[in-house]
Amino acid sequence: MALSTGHNRVRTAVFISGTGSNLKSLIKFSKSKKSPISVNLIISNNPKAKGLDYAKKFKIKKKVLNLKNKNLSENKLLYILKKNNIEIICLAGFMKILSKNFIKKFKGKILNIHPSILPKYKGLNTHKRALNNKEKYSGCTVHFVNSKLDSGKIILQKKVKIAKNETETSLAKKILVQEHKIYPKAILKVFNL
């Protein structure tokens, strides 16, 4: 993505469904000198998402949309994004699948973080499947979102070693630590910084 010279930070919406630890890492990054983005909007499909607390803490606008009626809520979402001049979207533990139409409207402007080394283990329960398959490594991937689940162009990946006594919980934790590092790095890469 190109940044014009003397740019203001690129207005970004972060979509969450749960804890929001990646949201927190993105907000922290956005406040650093080198960040090309500012986090201006938090969207959650889950009214109980813990990550929504960061809206208050960091004084960022938030919206909750249940996205059950996809067409209706996506239209509302598009309207909200437009009204807030959002230019890029970062999915961060967002557990809903966006429609083809929505993705087309933000073509090349939606990033996602996924807790596996894609193309391995697209979809849910990545850690469980990696452990069941006795993988030696797992990790995380930041990629562009296209209309096929977890299949868009890969921006950055980080591998982690799976220990002998690894559990789903310990692996998830280990990978999250890396997620918090690679999401900001991937954003810098996208803007050629």
52, 65, 90, 92: which one binds ligand GAR (CB under 6 A): 92
12, 15, 21, 187: which one binds ligand GAR (CB under 6 A): 21
Determine the longest span between alpha carbons in the chain, in angstroms: 51
Specify the 3-state DSSP secondary structure of 185: helix
* Nearest CB to ligand GAR, comparing residues 72 and 163: 163
Q: What angle do CA 51, 97, 74 make, to 5 degrees?
A: 85
Whether the ω angle into residue 115 lies within 30 degrees of 0, i.e. cis, is no
Burial (CB < 10 A; 0-12, 13-18, 19+), residue 137, is exposed
- 13 is a site residue for ligand GAR (CB under 6 A): no
Give me the catalytic one of 7, 114, 127, 180: 114
| Residue 127 falls in the annotated catalytic set | no
- 179 is a site residue for ligand GAR (CB under 6 A): yes
Residue with tokens 């559990």: 167
* Nearest CB to ligand GAR, comparing residues 80 and 176: 176
109, 114, 143, 174: which one binds ligand GAR (CB under 6 A): 114
The residue count for binding ligand GAR (CB under 6 A) is 14
Task: From residue 185, give the alpha-carbon distance in Å to each of 76, 80, 153, 155, 177.
Answer: 31, 27, 16, 9, 13
Active site residue ranges = 114
Binding residues for ligand GAR, rule: CB under 6 A, are: 16, 18-22, 51, 92-93, 113-115, 176, 179
